[in-house]
Amino acid sequence: MSSSDGKRRERAEEILDRWLVLQMDGQAPAKEDFLASNEDLRDLLEVMLENLDFAQEVLDLRASKGSGDRAEDTARSERGSCACG
């Protein structure tokens, strides 16, 4: 990665951090408006936002998995059973 690539990425991370804080406060512009206002970093920001969306989906899936399922998974791993379909 070149020095200019590193600086671009660092700038994109800073801008994304500020947008996320605004989003948590309910004051962020819509995602498309955010990307349009940072067109020079759009390629990096889109990937970062996709990664955040993916991470949130994984967390949501894990949170929706009931505690009974976790107990079942633990028992299954202790028995060495495979839950393969």
Q: Is the pLDDT of residue 78 over 80?
A: no
Report the 3 state secondary structure along 2-63: CHHHHHHHHHHHHHHHHHHHHHHCCCCCCHHHHHHCCHHHHHHHHHHHHHHHHHHHHHHHHH
Residue of higher predicted confidence among 1 and 64: 64
Asked whether the predicted pLDDT for residue 74 surpasses 90, the reply is no
Tell me the one-letter amino acid at 23: Q
pLDDT tens-digit series, residues 38-68: 999 999 999 999 999 999 999 999 999 865 5
Task: Please state the pTM of the whole predicted model.
Answer: 0.68
Torsion of CA 27, 29, 35, 36, to 10 degrees: -140
- What integer pLDDT is reported at residue 85 of this predicted model? 46
